[in-house]
Amino acid sequence: MKKKLVVLTGAGISAESGLKTFRDSNGLWEGHDIMDVASPEGWRKNPELVLDFYNQRRRQLKEVKPNLGHRELAQLQIHFDVHIITQNVDDLHERAGSKKVLHLHGELLKVRSTKNSKFILEWEGDLKLGDVDSQKYQLRPHIVWFGEAVPAFDEAIAITETADYFAVIGTSLQVYPAAGLIDFVPANIPVFYIDPKPAYIPNLKNPLETIPLQATEGIPFLKNRLLAEFQ
């Protein structure tokens, strides 16, 4: 039986492939106030703006590739039962070869019905007003917007509670409920935190090793560390 490595990834790992994060210093995402393009209120106010924004993100995704960090996580599947829980909406983990990926905040290459959240379609091109489901309801990006529930969170908790090792990569641990997953890691299970600007983690009941590096440097370090000491 392979030991289970559960990995929580954030925007930092995708940023190294060239995908911008919205939590830049100016608070804007590609020039837009985040609430205008990633909230139910923004959607009601100007759905065309929201659709155009995600169409641009979808096009940009086609221009980038998985980086060394994504590939090294996929390589770890040889030695561990790797489960990736990601806050990212791109498909770079999957394209790198990771088999068990849970997207907390939705997926850029999927759309869903505005009426029935379980009506989900694969979608690689542009999404426009007038693109509808089988009941003629408008389709929207399959993204968890600010103020919306995170449907996959219970599954993420269940995965985390069975971890033999837990790694946090490329996230400031500021976005909830995702950041709260670390509280569900079993006691005494080692936690590894890879980020060039790691956040302080209060009241952590686990042994913590902080690796203050970018994902493309920190994940190879973690791989060697796990193989040397825990295999």
Catalytically active residues, by annotation: 105
**Quick one: which H or E segment has residue 166?**
strand 165-169
Residue with tokens 């924004």: 53
Residues in the chain: 231
Q: Nearest to residue 85, comparing CAs of 113, 104, 66? A: 104
> Could you give phi then psi for residue 179, rounded to 5 degrees?
-60, -25
Give the helix/strand (H/E) hosting 209: strand 208-211
User: Longest C-alpha distance within the chain, in Å?
Assistant: 56
